[in-house]
Amino acid sequence: MRRAALSLLTGTLLLGCASAQVETGRSYAGDQALPRPDVVLVYDFSLSSSIISLDSAPGVEPGRAQQAEAYSEEQLKLGRNVASTLAKQLVENLRALGLPAERAYAPPLSGRHTLMVTGEFVEIDSGTKDTSVRTRTRVYQVAATGPRLLEEFETAASGSKKPRTAEQISQRIGTLASRQGWISQSTGN
């Protein structure tokens, strides 16, 4: 029963959000165009059990908060599933935009023009009627001197009808790619 509830929640958290917004943080404002990346590395977003709320989730018994250890394991399992699903969706969406994206599990190799997409979940709240997900995303260019922050932004999605979290992040990265001339305007929007 718990496994089914976790699977249901993972899909709902990332695919079931109807309203969405993106808050601008920092954006690359350099004068020179950046080289087109050879690869866009997408890492699983980080999380902690303290940001995941399951109390009102379908299939999770009320009062589970008193069983802190089991609850934290369940929260972290859900979070890992959500992080993995988000990374997979981002890779698919970025490839659809024409960017050479792939999942990343290790630091980038030197000698390649590389973008890194990292971030964290700020909030994951799965209720019986509404689900909300907030993320903070960072896009770095790997340079000889170390990673250079190109974009930093937050997304917030809630509801239960339409996919938005991965789409929001992908669109923002697509906008960066379009501004840099890595993809055409029509695919970057």
pLDDT at 5: 39
69-82 confidence digits (pLDDT tens): 555 777 778 778 88
pLDDT at 139: 96
Residue ranges per structural domain of the chain = 2-188
Percent of the chain at pLDDT exceeding 70: 65
Q: How confident is the prediction for the chain on average, in pLDDT?
A: 76
Mean pLDDT value across residues 145-158: 89
Task: For residue 128, name the pLDDT band (cuts at 50, 70, 90).
Answer: low
Residue 166 and residue 44 in contact, taking contact as beta carbons nearer than 8 Å:
no
Task: For residue 188, name the pLDDT band (cuts at 50, 70, 90).
Answer: very low
Of the two residues 128 and 64, the one the predictor is more confident about is 128
pLDDT at 22: 54
* Whole-number Cα distances in Å, 122 to 93, 147, 183: 22, 22, 30
44-53, 92-101, 109-118, 132-141 — which is least confidently predicted? 44-53
Mean pLDDT value across residues 125-148: 83
Residue 135 and residue 45 in contact, taking contact as beta carbons nearer than 8 Å:
yes
